[in-house]
Amino acid sequence: MNYDSKRFYKTVGTCLMIFLSLSVSGCDSLQKDAVVIANRIFSNFSLSPVIKNQEALPKETTKQKPHVKTTLQESSLLNISLSDVARNRLGIQTSVVKRKSVQKTRTLGGEVMVPAGQTISVSAPTAGVILAPENSSIPVVGTSLSKNQSVLRLLMLPPEKDLLASRDALESAQNRHDLAVKKAERAELLLKEGAGSVRSLEEARRELEDSRAGLRLAKSVANMMDHPDFKISAKEFTPLEVGAPINGIIENLHVAPGQRVAAGSALFQMTAQNSLWVRLPVYAGLLNQFDAKQTVNVQNLSSILEGKGVLAQPVNAPPSGNPLAASVNLFYELPTNDRTFQPGQKVAITLKLASLKQARVVPRSAIVYDIHGGTWVYLNPQGNDFVRSRVELETIEGNLAILTQGPAEGTKVVSTGVAELFGTEFGSGK
């Protein structure tokens, strides 16, 4: 048998021995039989046995449990330990939770509106055709205009009905003149016979002069209509400039260039926005709880939690409400020329209640927001150890954050470097 064949069978025998040993693991007699069978295979091919000493067989061992790495507890995820160098580099500063008297607030929904009397409608003084301002176009809705700034031009049309009725007007003027002549002659005759008065004669002559003037006008109009070269050209009429009556914006535009309008037709509507009001509907049962004489904080609906807004002053307005909703309207005036809000915009209004309460407060800078909008603070129990703790924020009042739930009074919290600490915790800090 050549060397390759010996190597092959030796490998096969070894595998068979291992297989039999593993198959009968735990039984000594069967293990020994497996070894004998393997050695016989090797001896038939003049190969030395692999295992000569039965005592060399592996002894039965106790099965060991796999090593499991200790899982990090969830509570430890909120803990951060810094070195002195890291703390100084992040600029960490702390303050304590305080309890102070604050005026409780409540946030309700309101609407920005234009005060009554700030909207002006402009109508056509006469019939005509709408033209754009010279060297420009008609402003679109929402355009801010200054007083007397040109909005459009009105090409006045001649009164066609009067021109077409000129013959009827001439006949009527002639009848009035004839009647006035007869009346004047009768008054003069009565005065001569002593049956009339001078006053009656003067009135008759004055009426005669008026009728003569009307007759002359009617004849001139009729002659113009009868003239073969009579034509009405638009170029002979000067367009009328229609400007903005006030400083404001165009709220509605009712016409377009080339449109024919009648006298009195609405052209556009302007709204003065020097000042805007906020209408706040309040449930009548809660009206006595609010201090209506104090300023309110008006905010966008997207920035309620940030505490940013504009202060609005209370104003006196005619009482109004909604009986179906059992609500009463309160009105507040926004700062003059403030363009943060637009008419019709829904806003959040924070009012102060008339009563005071004790509440826990922390610096506004101590609050950090997570990706879901949750609010947290970092506690500093000792040394350079920091623990992120969830808090429930009621409102922001100036530089203070008022808490409804959170750490106890006197607890040290991080007030400076909160964002850096938050980034360090999640691996995105310095």
Q: Indicate if 251 and 209 belong to the same structural domain.
A: no
Residue where a domain terminates, one of 356, 381, 408: 356
Residue 67 belongs to some domain of the structure: no
Secondary structure of 220-288 in HEC code, one letter for each residue: HHHHHHHCCCCCCCHHHCCCEEEECCCCEEEEEECCCCCCEECCCCEEEEEECCCCCEEEEEEEHHHHH
Element holding 28 (H helix, E strand): helix 28-44
Q: What is the value of pTM for the model shown?
A: 0.46
How far from 241 is each of 25, 148, 198, 267, CA to CA, in Å? 111, 10, 51, 12
In a shared domain, residues 400 and 410 = yes
Q: What letters, b where the CB count within 10 A reaches 16 and e where it falls short, cover 376-402?
A: bbbbbeeeeebbbeebebbbbbeebbb
Cα distance between residue 15 and residue 428, in whole Å:
55
CATH of the domain at 178: 1.10.287
* 151 lies in the same domain as 251: yes
Residue 179 domain-assigned (yes or no) = yes
**3-class SS of residue 124:** coil
Segments forming the whole domain that contains residue 378: 77-102+358-425
Domain count, the chain: 5
Per-residue pLDDT of the chain (430 residues; tens, 9 = 90+): 555 566 666 666 666 666 555 555 555 555 566 566 656 655 655 545 544 444 544 555 555 544 444 444 545 557 888 888 888 888 899 999 999 888 777 888 999 988 877 888 999 988 888 999 988 899 988 888 888 899 999 987 655 555 556 667 777 888 888 888 888 888 888 888 777 787 887 888 888 888 888 888 777 767 766 655 554 444 556 788 999 988 888 889 999 998 888 888 999 998 887 778 899 999 888 888 888 788 888 988 877 666 678 889 999 888 888 888 889 999 999 887 677 788 888 999 888 887 778 889 999 999 998 888 889 999 998 888 899 999 998 878 778 888 988 999 999 999 998 888 888 877 655 5
The pLDDT value recorded for residue 11 is 66
CATH at residue 305 = 2.40.30.170
Is residue 66 in a domain?
no
What local confidence, expressed as pLDDT, does residue 165 receive? Answer: 61
* 23 part of a folded domain: yes
Domain identity same for 194 and 330? no
Q: Are residues 9 and 83 in the same domain?
A: no
At 115 the pLDDT is 84
Residues 6+ apart with CB under 8 A from 297: 307, 309, 310, 311, 312, 349, 350
- Domain presence at residue 62: no
**Which one of 331, 356, 381 terminates a domain?**
356
For residue 360, give Cα distances in angstroms to 280, 357, 373: 29, 10, 21
Q: Is 428 helix (H, G, I), strand (E, B) or coil?
A: coil
Is residue 267 in a domain? yes
> Which has the closest alpha carbon to 299: 351, 249, 337, 352?
351
Q: What is the pLDDT of residue 366?
A: 92
352 with 363, same domain: the answer is no
Q: Which residue has the tokens 């165009």?
A: 250
**One domain, residues 175 and 267:** no
Residues 257 and 375 in one domain: no
In a domain, 393, yes or no: yes
Q: In terms of domains, do 47 and 90 share one? A: no
Residue whose tokens read 């099965």: 63
Q: Are residues 49 and 24 in the same domain?
A: yes
Q: What are the angstrom distances between the C-alpha of 292 and each of 313, 315, 331? A: 10, 10, 9
CATH of the domain at 368: 2.40.420.20
Residue 44: inside a domain: yes
Tokens standing for 398?
A: 């100036």
* Dist CA 20 CA 38 (whole Å): 9
237 phi/psi in degrees, rounded to 5: -105, 135
Which residue spans within 294-345 are E strands per DSSP?
296-299, 310-314, 321-322, 327-333
Residues 125 and 266 in one domain: yes
Query: Is-contact 377 407, C-beta < 8 A?
Result: yes
140 and 264 share a domain?
A: yes
Domain stops at, among 356, 378, 394: 356
